[in-house]
Amino acid sequence: MTNFKIILAYNGTAYHGWQRQNNALAVQQVLEEAILSLTGQTVTVNGCSRTDAGVHARRFCASFLIESTITCRGIVFGLNSKLPDDISVLECEKVPLDFHARYMCSGKEYEYIIHNSEIKKSFL
């Protein structure tokens, strides 16, 4: 078994948060389906935390265990070829088997941007 830690970035507009749900599309589900497509293995991806619907992430840590000889480079480029344009794998590293993205998280930083103008801004 190999334990991979990945760093993701995603635009959460199309998703109902990080955590897989029965009634809505979530980032975790899309990532797990991409891993299945890439490796042929069903995995559970553990995220460092949950996010609300529509929330974006610049550096979101996740981890998953898999039986494979795939390299970190293979994970990054392989998953990015399978994921939609609004989710990206930025980094990957092999970590000890007891690493868990949620339990090893040492901090979080939130940025709230409020657009308060009469004129719409395309990027906001």
pLDDT score of 124: 67
Q: 59-117: per-residue pLDDT in tens?
A: 999 999 999 899 999 999 999 999 999 999 999 999 999 998 888 777 777 777 778 88
Mean pLDDT across 42-68: 91
Q: Is residue 106 part of a domain?
A: no
Q: 34: domain CATH number?
A: 3.30.70.580
Q: DSSP letters of 88-111?
A: EEEEEEEE-TT--TTTT-------
**98 an active-site residue?**
no
Q: Which range of residues forms the domain containing residue 51?
A: 2-95
pTM for this predicted structure: 0.87
Give the chain's radius of gyration (CA, Å): 15
Q: Is residue 34 part of a domain?
A: yes
Q: Is residue 100 part of a domain?
A: no
Among 52, 85, 86, 98, which one carries the catalytic annotation?
A: 52
Q: How many domains does the chain have?
A: 1
Widest CA span in the chain? 55
Q: Is residue 118 part of a domain?
A: no
Q: Is residue 28 part of a domain?
A: yes
45 three-state secondary structure: coil
Q: How far apart are CA 60 and CA 16, in angstroms?
A: 16
